């Protein structure tokens, strides 16, 4: 039993770290956000709400500059001020913004925040187990190898979540009559909007799929559902 103690401690540590991170994020979002008030976007979110049989979809503005969307662990949906500014400047259309909101709704509906808590705890336990095993055979390098392997696993799980949220958004955009044209066109703008995150990084370490892969997956779902 004692030999499993480090793994158990790693599981508990992972859970505690995730809980603390979620708690800190919730308080920061409370302090730095307000409800989005935009007539055109509300018209689109009302169409999505109707497709989901919801009274409304509440979206908040998170007052930070980076261009991003966020699904908080408590289920709230956020668009950053930087992203909203791109929309106000005409660089992003209302339909493209709606596709971001639909994507974040997918993360909420599919329980990805809860899954990430489990994944994070499991990855800490796996890293500890690998360090214990590899450290016996490759002293000095075991910890580094364990870190790379668990990072690869975390990236793969994150990419899976992104594909699932994309598929949810595609289905919702089709059902609400908005369509997927804007969802796909936004992906072609992402590198310029976000500062080319991940360029030059190995594909297996990327937390998000590549743009062309995401668009191909959307088109494959469209073709499958049309049949």
In tens, the pLDDT along 124-178 reads 665 666 566 666 666 666 566 666 666 666 777 788 899 999 999 999 999 999 9
Question: What is the token pair recorded at 108?
Answer: 């909420």
- What mean pLDDT is reported for the chain? 82
Give the model's pLDDT for residue 190.
84
Nearest Cα neighbor of 103 from 150, 56, 169, 12 is 169
CA pseudo-torsion sign 223, 79, 150, 125: negative
Give the model's pLDDT for residue 20.
73
The answer on pLDDT for 51 being more than 80 is: yes
Contact predicate 49/55, CB 8 Å: yes
Q: How far apart are CA 182 and CA 186, in angstroms?
A: 6
Lowest-confidence region among 16-20, 40-44, 100-104, 146-150: 146-150
Q: 33: which DSSP letter?
A: E
Q: Give the SS3 label for residue 210.
A: coil
Give the model's pLDDT for residue 131.
61
The answer on pLDDT for 28 being more than 80 is: yes
Q: HSE (CB half, 13 Å, CA atoms) of 49?
A: 12
Instruction: Read off the pLDDT of each residue in 60-81 and give the average, rounded to a whole number.
Output: 93
Nearest Cα neighbor of 87 from 224, 223, 176, 193 is 193
Please give the share of the chain, as a percent, with pLDDT higher than 90.
50
Helix axis angle, 94-109 relative to 181-194, nearest 10°?
90
Domain residue ranges of the chain, discontinuous segments joined by +: 2-226
């Amino acid at each position: 039993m004692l030999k499993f103690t480090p793994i158990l401690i790693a599981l508990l540590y992972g859970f505690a770290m995730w809980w603390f991170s979620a708690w800190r994020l919730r308080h920061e979002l409370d302090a730095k956000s307000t409800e989005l008030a935009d007539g055109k976007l509300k018209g689109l979110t009302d169409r999505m709400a109707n497709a989901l049989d919801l009274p409304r979809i509440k979206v908040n503005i998170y007052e930070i500059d980076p261009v991003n969307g966020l699904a908080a662990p408590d289920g709230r949906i956020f668009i950053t001020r930087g992203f909203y500014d791109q929309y106000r400047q005409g660089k992003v259309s209302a339909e493209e913004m709606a596709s971001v909101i639909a994507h974040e709704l997918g993360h909420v509906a599919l329980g990805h925040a809860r899954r990430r808590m489990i994944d994070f705890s499991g990855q800490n336990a796996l890293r500890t187990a690998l360090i214990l095993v590899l450290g016996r055979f490759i002293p000095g390098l075991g910890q580094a190898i364990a870190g790379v392997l668990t990072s690869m696993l975390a990236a793969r799980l994150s990419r899976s979540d992104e594909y699932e949220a994309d598929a949810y958004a595609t289905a919702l955009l089709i059902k609400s009559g908005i369509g997927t044209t804007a969802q796909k066109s936004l992906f072609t703008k992402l590198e310029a909007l976000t500062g080319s995150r991940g360029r030059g990084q190995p594909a297996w370490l990327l937390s998000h799929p590549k743009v062309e892969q995401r668009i191909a997956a959307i088109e494959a779902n469209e073709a499958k559902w049309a049949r």
